[in-house]
Structure formats: structure tokens, C-alpha cells
Amino acid sequence: MSEFIDYLHEVFELAGPITTRRMFNGHTLYLDGLPVGIVYQDTLYLKADAETRPAFEALQLPQFTYRKKDKTIALPYFQAPEDIFDDRHEAAVWLKRAFEASLRSKAKNKH
């Protein structure tokens, strides 16, 4: 596991224990079994939805995208704000937003 992944456990210590799982060329972060973030090339992206996306956009944080053949695929994850790495309380707020977005996504997919 990378040092960055290990560091994220400290960053989010106030939000609750996160778990990680290696996926493709990165990692997925989970809180209470729900996906809340992804890490790709030591960059953290947090789960977003229609309700939380404006907070990311207001800070002009980029959305996670990747190329598949001739297409660009955008996932509902946005780069985490830099200040969460210095402020554990702020980190907990952003992780809670990501968790709530994941809960809404799960509920929406059940219907």
C-alpha cells in the first residue's frame, strides 16, 4: 500500500475508520462499506452527486475522468480540496458529504 493511502487513514480519523481496496491502477476508499472516494496517482477524489457537486465546482476542483478507446469517461468523483489535508475537521465534513452522496446513489439504484 502506498504512503499516501496510509496517510488518508490519519486525514479522515475524525470521520470514522475508512477502508481501502486496490482497484485497477488506484484504490477505492470506503466508509461503512460504501464507496466514498478513489485515489489515482496519489490524488484523492471524493464521491459527488447533484447535491454535493456544486461545492466542488465552486472551488473549481476537477472531476475524475479517464480515456477508454476514443471516449472520455467522467465518474462522479471530484478532486478533494487541499485544505482537508491540514484540517481534520474539514476532512470529516467533506468525507461525510461523500458518504451521503454514496447513500443517495445507493438508494436511487434500488428503485
Q: What is the DSSP string of 41-91?
A: TTEEEEE--TTTHHHHHHTTPPEEEEEETTEEEEEEEEEPPGGGGT-HHHH
Cα angle 3, 25, 81; round to 5: 60
Contact assessment for residue 26 and residue 38, using Cβ atoms and an 8 Å cutoff: yes
Q: 90 — phi, psi (to 5°)?
A: -65, -40
User: What pLDDT is stored for residue 2 in this prediction?
Assistant: 84
Report the pLDDT value the prediction gives residue 1, as an integer from 0 to 100.
60
Find out whether 80 and 18 touch, Cβ atoms under 8 Å. Answer: no
pLDDT at 16: 86
Cell of 97: 458529504
Residues of the chain where predicted confidence (pLDDT) is lower than 70: 1, 109-111
What pTM does this model have?
Answer: 0.92
Please tell me the class of the 3-110 domain: alpha beta
Each domain of the chain, given as residue ranges in start order, spans: 3-110
Give me the pLDDT at residue 106, please.
78
Instruction: Summarize pLDDT for 46-64 with one digit per residue, the tens.
Output: 999 999 999 999 999 999 9
How distant is the alpha carbon of residue 90 from its chain centre?
Answer: 14
pLDDT of amino acid 13:
94
What distances in angstroms separate CA 57 from CA 2, 26, 35, 98, one per listed residue? 28, 23, 21, 14
